Amino acid sequence: MPKVTFPRMGESWRTFKMLMNDLGNEVVIPPRPNKRTLDYGVRYAPEFACLPLKILMGTYVETCLEGAELIVTSGGSGPCRAGLYGQLHKKILNSIGFPVDIIVFEAPKSHPVDFLRKVNRLNTSRLSYRAIWECIKRGWEKLKYLDDAEKLTHVVRPRELEKGSTTRVYRRVLDWIDTAYTMKEIKEAGEAALEAIRSVPQDPGRNVLKVGIVGEIYVLLEPASNLEIEETLGNLGVEVRRSMFLTGWTRDNTVKETREILTVKDAAAPYIPLCIGGHGQESVGHTVIFAKEGYDGVIQLAPFTCIPEIVARTILNRVSRVHNIPVLTFFLDEQTGKAGMSTRLEAFVDLMRRKKGHAGNLRAQTEAG
Ligand code: SF4
Protein backbone atom coordinates (compact mmCIF):
# COMPACT_ATOMS: atom_id res chain seq x y z
CA MET A 1 0.00 0.00 0.00
CA PRO A 2 1.74 3.24 -1.12
CA LYS A 3 1.92 6.18 1.24
CA VAL A 4 0.12 8.99 -0.55
CA THR A 5 0.06 12.72 0.07
CA PHE A 6 -1.34 15.81 -1.66
CA PRO A 7 -1.20 19.63 -1.41
CA ARG A 8 -2.91 21.27 1.50
CA MET A 9 -5.48 23.86 0.45
CA GLY A 10 -7.61 25.02 3.33
CA GLU A 11 -9.77 22.29 4.84
CA SER A 12 -10.14 20.24 1.65
CA TRP A 13 -7.51 17.79 2.94
CA ARG A 14 -10.27 16.19 5.02
CA THR A 15 -12.05 15.14 1.82
CA PHE A 16 -8.92 13.95 0.02
CA LYS A 17 -7.85 11.94 3.05
CA MET A 18 -11.17 10.08 3.00
CA LEU A 19 -11.04 9.52 -0.75
CA MET A 20 -7.47 8.22 -0.77
CA ASN A 21 -8.21 5.90 2.16
CA ASP A 22 -11.29 4.58 0.36
CA LEU A 23 -9.21 3.76 -2.68
CA GLY A 24 -6.88 1.73 -0.47
CA ASN A 25 -4.00 4.11 0.16
CA GLU A 26 -2.26 5.05 3.35
CA VAL A 27 -2.32 8.84 3.68
CA VAL A 28 0.35 11.19 4.98
CA ILE A 29 -1.70 14.26 5.92
CA PRO A 30 0.02 17.44 4.72
CA PRO A 31 0.64 19.67 7.76
CA ARG A 32 -0.70 23.20 7.92
CA PRO A 33 1.95 25.40 6.24
CA ASN A 34 4.15 27.02 8.88
CA LYS A 35 7.59 28.55 9.23
CA ARG A 36 9.31 25.19 8.79
CA THR A 37 7.34 24.58 5.58
CA LEU A 38 8.40 27.94 4.19
CA ASP A 39 12.00 27.40 5.22
CA TYR A 40 12.12 24.14 3.25
CA GLY A 41 10.32 25.77 0.33
CA VAL A 42 12.69 28.71 0.18
CA ARG A 43 15.70 26.42 0.51
CA TYR A 44 14.79 24.04 -2.30
CA ALA A 45 12.62 26.01 -4.76
CA PRO A 46 14.09 28.45 -7.30
CA GLU A 47 14.45 31.93 -5.78
CA PHE A 48 11.96 33.65 -8.11
CA ALA A 49 9.36 30.88 -8.04
CA CYS A 50 5.91 32.02 -6.97
CA LEU A 51 4.83 31.53 -3.35
CA PRO A 52 2.49 28.53 -3.95
CA LEU A 53 5.36 26.61 -5.57
CA LYS A 54 7.56 27.32 -2.55
CA ILE A 55 4.93 26.41 0.03
CA LEU A 56 4.09 23.18 -1.81
CA MET A 57 7.78 22.40 -2.09
CA GLY A 58 8.08 22.75 1.67
CA THR A 59 4.91 20.70 2.26
CA TYR A 60 6.21 17.88 0.09
CA VAL A 61 9.55 17.82 1.89
CA GLU A 62 7.69 17.59 5.21
CA THR A 63 5.45 14.77 3.99
CA CYS A 64 8.38 12.91 2.38
CA LEU A 65 10.15 13.04 5.73
CA GLU A 66 7.03 11.31 7.09
CA GLY A 67 7.41 8.59 4.48
CA ALA A 68 5.22 9.80 1.58
CA GLU A 69 6.01 7.88 -1.63
CA LEU A 70 3.42 9.26 -4.02
CA ILE A 71 2.15 12.83 -4.43
CA VAL A 72 -1.26 13.45 -6.00
CA THR A 73 -1.88 16.93 -7.34
CA SER A 74 -3.65 18.86 -10.07
CA GLY A 75 -2.09 20.34 -13.19
CA GLY A 76 -2.77 23.61 -14.90
CA SER A 77 -3.37 24.89 -18.36
CA GLY A 78 -2.75 28.21 -20.02
CA PRO A 79 0.31 30.41 -20.13
CA CYS A 80 1.57 30.24 -16.56
CA ARG A 81 3.88 28.08 -14.49
CA ALA A 82 1.21 26.00 -12.78
CA GLY A 83 1.39 23.31 -15.47
CA LEU A 84 5.06 22.74 -14.69
CA TYR A 85 4.75 22.51 -10.93
CA GLY A 86 4.39 18.73 -10.78
CA GLN A 87 7.45 17.93 -12.87
CA LEU A 88 9.54 20.58 -11.17
CA HIS A 89 8.62 19.40 -7.69
CA LYS A 90 9.36 15.79 -8.60
CA LYS A 91 12.77 16.66 -10.08
CA ILE A 92 13.78 18.70 -7.05
CA LEU A 93 12.53 16.09 -4.55
CA ASN A 94 14.34 13.29 -6.39
CA SER A 95 17.53 15.37 -6.54
CA ILE A 96 17.54 15.91 -2.77
CA GLY A 97 17.11 12.23 -2.01
CA PHE A 98 13.36 11.54 -1.93
CA PRO A 99 12.50 8.84 -4.52
CA VAL A 100 8.91 10.07 -4.67
CA ASP A 101 6.59 9.80 -7.67
CA ILE A 102 3.89 12.27 -8.61
CA ILE A 103 0.49 11.92 -10.27
CA VAL A 104 -0.78 15.11 -11.85
CA PHE A 105 -4.51 15.18 -12.59
CA GLU A 106 -5.44 17.36 -15.54
CA ALA A 107 -9.02 18.57 -16.04
CA PRO A 108 -11.13 15.48 -16.93
CA LYS A 109 -13.13 17.50 -19.47
CA SER A 110 -10.01 17.77 -21.66
CA HIS A 111 -8.18 14.56 -20.63
CA PRO A 112 -10.87 11.93 -19.79
CA VAL A 113 -8.83 8.81 -20.57
CA ASP A 114 -5.77 10.06 -18.74
CA PHE A 115 -8.02 10.88 -15.77
CA LEU A 116 -9.40 7.32 -15.59
CA ARG A 117 -5.92 5.82 -15.96
CA LYS A 118 -4.69 7.83 -12.98
CA VAL A 119 -7.73 6.95 -10.87
CA ASN A 120 -7.01 3.29 -11.63
CA ARG A 121 -3.44 3.67 -10.47
CA LEU A 122 -4.64 5.02 -7.12
CA ASN A 123 -7.33 2.35 -6.82
CA THR A 124 -5.22 -0.16 -4.92
CA SER A 125 -8.38 -1.64 -3.32
CA ARG A 126 -9.50 -2.60 -6.84
CA LEU A 127 -12.94 -1.06 -6.34
CA SER A 128 -15.42 -1.22 -9.20
CA TYR A 129 -16.14 2.01 -11.11
CA ARG A 130 -19.52 2.08 -9.43
CA ALA A 131 -17.92 1.88 -5.96
CA ILE A 132 -15.40 4.59 -6.93
CA TRP A 133 -18.27 6.79 -8.05
CA GLU A 134 -19.95 6.32 -4.65
CA CYS A 135 -16.70 7.35 -2.91
CA ILE A 136 -16.45 10.46 -5.11
CA LYS A 137 -20.06 11.39 -4.32
CA ARG A 138 -19.41 11.14 -0.58
CA GLY A 139 -16.21 13.14 -0.97
CA TRP A 140 -18.04 15.80 -2.94
CA GLU A 141 -20.74 16.08 -0.28
CA LYS A 142 -18.09 16.51 2.40
CA LEU A 143 -16.26 19.15 0.35
CA LYS A 144 -19.50 21.09 -0.19
CA TYR A 145 -20.20 21.21 3.55
CA LEU A 146 -16.62 22.26 4.29
CA ASP A 147 -16.95 25.12 1.80
CA ASP A 148 -20.41 26.10 3.04
CA ALA A 149 -19.24 26.17 6.66
CA GLU A 150 -16.33 28.43 5.75
CA LYS A 151 -18.57 30.74 3.69
CA LEU A 152 -20.94 31.04 6.62
CA THR A 153 -18.15 32.11 8.98
CA HIS A 154 -17.46 35.03 6.61
CA VAL A 155 -21.01 36.30 7.22
CA VAL A 156 -21.25 35.56 10.94
CA ARG A 157 -17.77 36.65 12.15
CA PRO A 158 -18.19 40.43 11.58
CA ARG A 159 -21.49 40.33 13.49
CA GLU A 160 -20.44 38.13 16.43
CA LEU A 161 -21.02 39.55 19.92
CA GLU A 162 -18.01 37.88 21.46
CA LYS A 163 -14.79 38.29 19.52
CA GLY A 164 -13.36 34.96 18.39
CA SER A 165 -16.55 32.95 19.02
CA THR A 166 -17.16 32.16 15.31
CA THR A 167 -13.63 30.86 14.85
CA ARG A 168 -13.93 28.74 17.97
CA VAL A 169 -17.19 27.15 16.82
CA TYR A 170 -15.86 26.71 13.27
CA ARG A 171 -12.79 24.80 14.49
CA ARG A 172 -15.01 22.52 16.53
CA VAL A 173 -17.51 21.73 13.77
CA LEU A 174 -14.77 20.91 11.26
CA ASP A 175 -14.09 17.78 13.28
CA TRP A 176 -17.75 16.77 13.08
CA ILE A 177 -17.64 16.92 9.28
CA ASP A 178 -14.24 15.25 9.26
CA THR A 179 -15.31 12.17 11.21
CA ALA A 180 -18.56 11.67 9.28
CA TYR A 181 -18.24 8.83 6.76
CA THR A 182 -21.49 7.58 5.25
CA MET A 183 -23.60 9.92 3.12
CA LYS A 184 -26.18 10.11 5.92
CA GLU A 185 -23.53 10.95 8.53
CA ILE A 186 -21.96 13.61 6.30
CA LYS A 187 -25.31 15.31 5.70
CA GLU A 188 -26.20 15.21 9.40
CA ALA A 189 -22.80 16.47 10.52
CA GLY A 190 -22.78 19.16 7.80
CA GLU A 191 -26.24 20.47 8.72
CA ALA A 192 -25.36 20.43 12.43
CA ALA A 193 -22.15 22.33 11.66
CA LEU A 194 -24.00 25.04 9.70
CA GLU A 195 -26.59 25.35 12.46
CA ALA A 196 -23.88 25.70 15.13
CA ILE A 197 -22.18 28.52 13.20
CA ARG A 198 -25.52 30.25 12.57
CA SER A 199 -26.25 30.05 16.30
CA VAL A 200 -23.19 32.08 17.32
CA PRO A 201 -24.68 35.09 19.18
CA GLN A 202 -24.70 38.05 16.78
CA ASP A 203 -25.72 41.66 16.41
CA PRO A 204 -27.86 41.55 13.26
CA GLY A 205 -28.13 45.35 13.11
CA ARG A 206 -24.37 45.97 13.02
CA ASN A 207 -23.20 48.13 10.16
CA VAL A 208 -20.69 45.88 8.42
CA LEU A 209 -18.69 46.56 5.29
CA LYS A 210 -18.70 44.11 2.40
CA VAL A 211 -15.47 43.26 0.63
CA GLY A 212 -14.81 40.89 -2.27
CA ILE A 213 -11.61 38.86 -2.33
CA VAL A 214 -10.07 37.96 -5.69
CA GLY A 215 -6.76 36.49 -6.79
CA GLU A 216 -4.76 33.35 -7.39
CA ILE A 217 -6.36 30.07 -6.27
CA TYR A 218 -3.75 28.79 -3.81
CA VAL A 219 -3.40 32.00 -1.82
CA LEU A 220 -7.19 32.35 -1.80
CA LEU A 221 -7.81 28.84 -0.51
CA GLU A 222 -5.04 28.30 2.02
CA PRO A 223 -5.39 30.69 4.98
CA ALA A 224 -1.81 30.08 6.13
CA SER A 225 -0.56 31.50 2.82
CA ASN A 226 -2.60 34.71 3.14
CA LEU A 227 -1.96 35.13 6.87
CA GLU A 228 -5.63 34.48 7.69
CA ILE A 229 -6.73 37.67 5.98
CA GLU A 230 -10.41 36.71 6.00
CA GLU A 231 -10.39 36.20 9.76
CA THR A 232 -8.59 39.51 10.28
CA LEU A 233 -11.16 41.31 8.13
CA GLY A 234 -14.03 39.63 9.96
CA ASN A 235 -12.59 40.82 13.25
CA LEU A 236 -12.49 44.34 11.79
CA GLY A 237 -16.24 44.15 11.08
CA VAL A 238 -15.96 43.24 7.40
CA GLU A 239 -18.03 40.57 5.68
CA VAL A 240 -15.94 38.99 2.95
CA ARG A 241 -17.01 37.13 -0.13
CA ARG A 242 -14.24 35.09 -1.65
CA SER A 243 -14.44 34.72 -5.42
CA MET A 244 -13.29 31.12 -5.43
CA PHE A 245 -13.89 27.93 -3.48
CA LEU A 246 -12.68 24.46 -4.36
CA THR A 247 -16.18 23.18 -5.17
CA GLY A 248 -16.74 26.02 -7.67
CA TRP A 249 -13.32 25.59 -9.27
CA THR A 250 -13.86 21.81 -9.56
CA ARG A 251 -17.26 22.28 -11.23
CA ASP A 252 -15.72 24.60 -13.82
CA ASN A 253 -12.86 22.25 -14.58
CA THR A 254 -14.49 18.82 -14.48
CA VAL A 255 -17.20 18.77 -17.12
CA LYS A 256 -17.81 22.19 -18.58
CA GLU A 257 -17.72 25.80 -17.46
CA THR A 258 -20.71 26.87 -15.36
CA ARG A 259 -22.92 29.86 -16.07
CA GLU A 260 -21.24 31.60 -13.14
CA ILE A 261 -17.71 31.52 -14.55
CA LEU A 262 -18.97 32.51 -18.01
CA THR A 263 -20.61 35.57 -16.41
CA VAL A 264 -17.30 36.44 -14.77
CA LYS A 265 -15.47 36.15 -18.10
CA ASP A 266 -18.11 38.32 -19.78
CA ALA A 267 -17.64 40.97 -17.07
CA ALA A 268 -13.87 40.88 -17.64
CA ALA A 269 -14.10 40.94 -21.45
CA PRO A 270 -14.02 44.76 -21.97
CA TYR A 271 -10.73 44.89 -20.06
CA ILE A 272 -9.16 41.51 -20.67
CA PRO A 273 -10.81 39.34 -23.33
CA LEU A 274 -8.35 36.42 -23.18
CA CYS A 275 -7.26 33.89 -20.60
CA ILE A 276 -3.78 34.93 -19.54
CA GLY A 277 -3.18 31.88 -17.35
CA GLY A 278 -3.80 31.49 -13.65
CA HIS A 279 -6.78 33.52 -12.51
CA GLY A 280 -5.95 37.00 -13.80
CA GLN A 281 -9.02 37.24 -16.00
CA GLU A 282 -11.30 36.07 -13.17
CA SER A 283 -9.76 38.60 -10.77
CA VAL A 284 -10.80 41.40 -13.13
CA GLY A 285 -14.25 39.93 -13.87
CA HIS A 286 -15.08 39.34 -10.22
CA THR A 287 -14.00 42.88 -9.32
CA VAL A 288 -16.39 44.32 -11.93
CA ILE A 289 -19.20 42.13 -10.54
CA PHE A 290 -18.44 43.06 -6.92
CA ALA A 291 -18.55 46.74 -7.90
CA LYS A 292 -21.91 46.30 -9.65
CA GLU A 293 -23.29 44.48 -6.61
CA GLY A 294 -22.46 47.46 -4.41
CA TYR A 295 -19.51 46.04 -2.49
CA ASP A 296 -17.47 48.55 -0.50
CA GLY A 297 -14.11 47.34 -1.76
CA VAL A 298 -12.08 44.54 -3.27
CA ILE A 299 -8.87 42.92 -2.09
CA GLN A 300 -6.63 41.14 -4.57
CA LEU A 301 -4.32 38.41 -3.27
CA ALA A 302 -1.38 37.82 -5.58
CA PRO A 303 1.70 35.68 -5.10
CA PHE A 304 4.85 37.75 -5.65
CA THR A 305 6.07 37.24 -9.29
CA CYS A 306 2.69 35.80 -10.37
CA ILE A 307 2.41 37.15 -13.93
CA PRO A 308 -1.38 36.70 -14.38
CA GLU A 309 -2.08 38.63 -11.17
CA ILE A 310 0.50 41.32 -12.03
CA VAL A 311 -1.31 41.87 -15.34
CA ALA A 312 -4.65 41.89 -13.52
CA ARG A 313 -3.28 44.43 -11.03
CA THR A 314 -2.49 46.97 -13.75
CA ILE A 315 -6.00 46.56 -15.19
CA LEU A 316 -7.66 46.77 -11.77
CA ASN A 317 -6.43 50.38 -11.49
CA ARG A 318 -8.74 51.23 -14.36
CA VAL A 319 -11.60 49.05 -13.11
CA SER A 320 -11.33 50.81 -9.76
CA ARG A 321 -11.63 54.25 -11.41
CA VAL A 322 -14.40 53.33 -13.84
CA HIS A 323 -16.53 51.53 -11.23
CA ASN A 324 -15.59 53.75 -8.30
CA ILE A 325 -14.55 50.89 -6.04
CA PRO A 326 -11.41 50.85 -3.86
CA VAL A 327 -9.04 47.98 -4.65
CA LEU A 328 -6.18 46.91 -2.41
CA THR A 329 -3.55 44.43 -3.61
CA PHE A 330 -1.31 42.26 -1.47
CA PHE A 331 1.66 40.68 -3.20
CA LEU A 332 2.49 37.75 -0.93
CA ASP A 333 5.85 36.13 -0.44
CA GLU A 334 7.89 34.63 2.36
CA GLN A 335 8.72 38.13 3.65
CA THR A 336 5.10 39.23 4.11
CA GLY A 337 4.27 39.75 7.78
CA LYS A 338 0.94 39.71 9.57
CA ALA A 339 1.51 42.98 11.46
CA GLY A 340 2.19 44.94 8.26
CA MET A 341 -0.83 43.37 6.59
CA SER A 342 -3.10 44.24 9.54
CA THR A 343 -1.98 47.88 9.44
CA ARG A 344 -2.78 48.16 5.73
CA LEU A 345 -6.14 46.44 6.27
CA GLU A 346 -7.09 48.81 9.08
CA ALA A 347 -6.29 51.79 6.85
CA PHE A 348 -8.30 50.26 3.98
CA VAL A 349 -11.28 49.60 6.26
CA ASP A 350 -11.08 53.18 7.48
CA LEU A 351 -11.08 54.48 3.92
CA MET A 352 -14.10 52.36 2.99
CA ARG A 353 -16.01 53.47 6.09
CA ARG A 354 -15.37 57.14 5.30
CA LYS A 355 -16.35 56.63 1.66
CA LYS A 356 -19.54 54.88 2.72
CA GLY A 357 -20.34 57.54 5.32
CA HIS A 358 -19.74 60.30 2.78
CA ALA A 359 -22.02 58.61 0.22
CA GLY A 360 -24.69 58.18 2.94
CA ASN A 361 -24.51 61.89 3.87
CA LEU A 362 -24.81 62.94 0.22
CA ARG A 363 -27.85 60.69 -0.21
CA ALA A 364 -29.50 62.13 2.92
CA GLN A 365 -28.85 65.72 1.75
CA THR A 366 -30.27 64.98 -1.70
CA GLU A 367 -33.42 63.43 -0.20
CA ALA A 368 -33.84 66.30 2.30
CA GLY A 369 -33.28 68.94 -0.39
S1 SF4 B 1 -1.11 31.56 -11.31
FE2 SF4 B 1 0.60 32.74 -10.54
S3 SF4 B 1 1.13 31.82 -8.61
FE4 SF4 B 1 -0.12 30.35 -9.70
S5 SF4 B 1 1.38 29.13 -10.83
FE6 SF4 B 1 0.76 30.72 -12.20
S7 SF4 B 1 2.31 32.30 -11.91
FE8 SF4 B 1 2.46 30.92 -10.15
Q: What is the distance in A from the centroid of ligand 1 to the CA of 280?
A: 10
pLDDT value at residue 350:
96
In a domain, 135, yes or no: no
Bridge partners, 72 (sequence order): 103
pLDDT value at residue 260:
78
In a domain, 132, yes or no: no
Rg (CA), the chain: 21
Same-domain check for residues 315 and 170? no
Which residues 6+ apart lie within 8 Å of 259 measured at CB?
none
In a domain, 248, yes or no: yes
Same-domain check for residues 113 and 239? no
In a domain, 255, yes or no: yes
Nearest to 79 by CA among 274, 304, 285, 296: 274
Using CA atoms, how far residue 326 sits from 206, 233, 255, 297, in Å, is 22, 15, 35, 5
Query: What b/e sequence results for 261-286 when a residue is b if at least 16 CB atoms lie within 10 Å of its CB, and e otherwise?
Result: beebbebbeebbeebbbbbbbbbbbb
Yes or no: say if 145 and 151 are a contact pair by the CB < 8 Å rule: no
Look up the CATH number of the domain holding residue 297: 3.40.50.11900
**Which atom number of ligand 1 is nearest to the Cα of residue 218?**
4
Q: How far apart are CA 356 and CA 273, in angstroms?
A: 32
Same-domain check for residues 246 and 354? yes
What's the domain count of the chain? 3
Same-domain check for residues 235 and 291? yes
Same-domain check for residues 11 and 65? yes
Measured distance between the N- and C-terminal CA atoms of the chain, rounded to whole angstroms: 77
Q: What is the distance in A from the centroid of ligand 1 to the CA of 278?
A: 6
Q: How many CB atoms lie within 10 A of CB 55?
A: 28
Same-domain check for residues 361 and 216? yes
Q: How far apart are CA 170 and CA 175, in angstroms?
A: 9
Chunked in runs of 10, what are the mean pLDDT values of the chain (369 residues)? 92 97 96 96 92 96 97 80 87 97 87 90 94 96 98 98 97 97 97 98 95 96 96 97 91 73 89 89 96 97 94 96 97 93 97 86 68
Same-domain check for residues 89 and 68? yes
Q: How many residues does the chain have?
A: 369
Same-domain check for residues 358 and 233? yes
Q: At what angle do helices 129-156 and 183-198 cross, to 10 degrees?
A: 0
Which residue CA neighbors atom 1 of ligand 1 most closely? Answer: 278
Which residue CA neighbors atom 5 of ligand 1 most closely? Answer: 82
In a domain, 180, yes or no: yes
Look up the CATH number of the domain holding residue 45: 3.40.50
Give the pocket of ligand 1 (CB within 6 Å): 50, 52, 80-82, 216, 277-278, 303, 306-309
pLDDT value at residue 56:
96
pLDDT value at residue 362:
66
In a domain, 288, yes or no: yes
Nearest to 180 by CA among 193, 169, 199, 196: 193
Burial of 219 (0-12, 13-18, 19+ CB in 10 A): buried
Same-domain check for residues 107 and 154? no
Same-domain check for residues 119 and 194? no
In a domain, 294, yes or no: yes
Which residue CA neighbors atom 7 of ligand 1 most closely? Answer: 306
Same-domain check for residues 174 and 191? yes
Same-domain check for residues 118 and 193? no
What domain range is 28 assigned to? Answer: 3-127
Where does a domain end: 204, 226, 252?
A: 204
pLDDT value at residue 78:
66
Q: What is the distance in A from the centroid of ligand 1 to the CA of 199?
A: 38
